[in-house]
Structure 1
Amino acid sequence: MELRPAFLQAGDFNVISVDYGPLARSPCYVQASMNVRTVGKCIARALEQLFAARPGTASPANTHVIGFSLGAHVAGAVGTYTKLPWITGLDPALPLFDDYTSSASSRLDSSDAQFVDVIHTNAGIKGKVLPVGHVDFYCNSGTYQPGCNGSKFIFPLNASTIQ
């Protein structure tokens, strides 16, 4: 199930979905990873404009930013540019975001929001292994997931190419 319809079914939420998948597909992943902070800054500015335009209904206090793979690091960048209460990272991407080749300011970490929770399901393959949030959950040890054909996850680098 996709997140947006699930949220809309679960309650009275406003859901903003940012899809820059075409810019993140191979062979553009390297460039997409270099643009994480820029994309995060643009999203943060858009949120700030929304908060200013709708002060009674939209505010940072009731904003939850969720990002998958490369989007988890974008979510962290959003938190760098605007203060957020909650970020959820779903399988934060590992390629080009490891602790040795990237700075903390360019990847999701616990300083990006008041509360950062992270769910790891393919750690060490394409996802980060080390904990990066206030709370990190490692489903089935965070690596191989029963029922998932591992061969489909070797080359795709974003959700739009995973079947």
Structure 2
Amino acid sequence: MNKSSSLYASILIVYCFILTNSYVYNGDKKYDFLPGVDFTIADAEKTDVLYHVFTKNVSEGQYLTEETVSDSILTVNVPTKIVIHGWLSNETTYWYEPIRNEYFKKYPDCNVIYIDWSKAGSKEFQISAANSKPIGKFIADFIIAGKLHLESVHVIGHSLGSHVAGFIGKSIYEKTSKKLGRITGTDPGGPMFQASNMTSEFRLADTDAEFVDIIHTDVGNYGFEKPIGMIDYYPNGGSSQPGCPPLEIDDNCSHARSNLYFIESINSNDFIATSCESWEEYKEGNCGNDSKNVTFGENVDFQARGVYYFITNDNPPFAQIE
């Protein structure tokens, strides 16, 4: 998201009131009163997705379609990074260019694909949320048509885009009996997706790729609260992030930090996360002798599992170096 988040809250609250007129706002868990996503109202079409592809030879990028991708500039067996924005956003979002630049530093011979699904993802929230499923299927068809080596495909989805990523993974497996190499969810969206009836088949889940890692930075506001990956990170406890103003001044800052932390991690091993029972235990240094440390972000050990915590600086560089 990169538009006014007060609009986000207004739409959600009005929507819920119209639906039932009986839910009670819970100030601690802002949107827990919302019903689950109704996927029957999805109205996305295949042409609603734009694929802007960058390679070492085409730095300015090229727009492809499912029909043109098989004869395109893509190299099918190199790392392919597919980035997916959230609600009310598009390919001009603040984090696409920085993540592309960092990936080309790390992997000069790679593919970076900007997904722009703004036509289907900038409608009333309940419709955009429902559109995450067909959009995921359309992107899966593009990946299959491009004959990309699935083990080399890494999808990074933010907020509502994280659930799009989950549906890509589900569709890929349904159509090929193989899984994507990796999905990273940067603060997956919580509203509607963490309703009690939203089981793993209706959102991003740890089974959607060979490796699924999740960054939680805005729990209790726009971010998903519970662990849903193979490894789940809760920087600074997972809610209000250091250096961000109070929610009434900027209610998107902590949500957006998930992308900034991940981008910094691409060419750095400085973020060290520790497994622990809770944030409180982590702060007290009571994680036990069996606690484990991992490198956070792009360079994580794919064998790592569980819930991990770390502390950041207020401003970049965010990684704390002891």
User: How far is 1:79 from its partner?
Assistant: 0.3
Matched, 1:73 2:163: yes
1:63 corresponding residue in structure 2: 153
Distance (whole Å) between structure 2 residues aligned to residue 104 and residue 61 of structure 1 = 22
Matched, 1:21 2:118: yes
Inter-CA distance 97–158: structure 2 relative to 1 (3 Å threshold) = farther
Matched, 1:152 2:280: no
**8 Å CA contact 2:187, 2:223 repeated in 1:** yes
**8 Å CA contact 1:88, 1:116 repeated in 2:** yes
Distance (whole Å) between structure 1 residues aligned to residue 230 and residue 156 of structure 2 = 15
Higher relative contact order (Cα pairs below 8 Å, separated by 6+ residues): 1
1:40 corresponding residue in structure 2: 136
**8 Å CA contact 2:157, 2:163 repeated in 1:** yes
State, as a whole percentage, how many aligned pairs show the same letter: 36
Structure with greater strand percent = 2
User: How far is 1:158 from its partner?
Assistant: 8.8
The CA RMSD measured in Å over matched residues stands at: 2.0
User: How far is 1:99 from its partner?
Assistant: 4.2
- The DSSP-based 3-state class of the residue aligned with 1:124 is coil
Distance (whole Å) between structure 2 residues aligned to residue 137 and residue 99 of structure 1 = 21
Per-residue CA deviations over 1:74-107 (Å, capped at 9, x if unaligned) read 0010000112121100000001100414232120
**8 Å CA contact 1:40, 1:75 repeated in 2:** yes
Distance (whole Å) between structure 2 residues aligned to residue 90 and residue 143 of structure 1 = 13
- The DSSP-based 3-state class of the residue aligned with 1:152 is coil
**TM-score normalised to structure 1 length:** 0.84
Per-residue CA deviations over 1:59-79 (Å, capped at 9, x if unaligned) read 101111110000000001000
Distance (whole Å) between structure 2 residues aligned to residue 81 and residue 115 of structure 1 = 16
Question: Which consecutive aligned stretches of 4+ in structure 1 deviate over 3 angstroms post-superposition?
Answer: none
**8 Å CA contact 1:70, 1:158 repeated in 2:** no
1:125 corresponding residue in structure 2: 221
1:90 is aligned, of 181, 186, 190, to: 186
Inter-CA distance 153–24: structure 2 relative to 1 (3 Å threshold) = farther
Distance (whole Å) between structure 2 residues aligned to residue 10 and residue 22 of structure 1 = 32
2:233 is aligned, of 121, 132, 137, to: 137
Distance (whole Å) between structure 2 residues aligned to residue 9 and residue 30 of structure 1 = 38
Inter-CA distance 102–122: structure 2 relative to 1 (3 Å threshold) = same
**TM-score normalised to structure 2 length:** 0.44
1:54 corresponding residue in structure 2: none
Structure with greater helix percent = 1
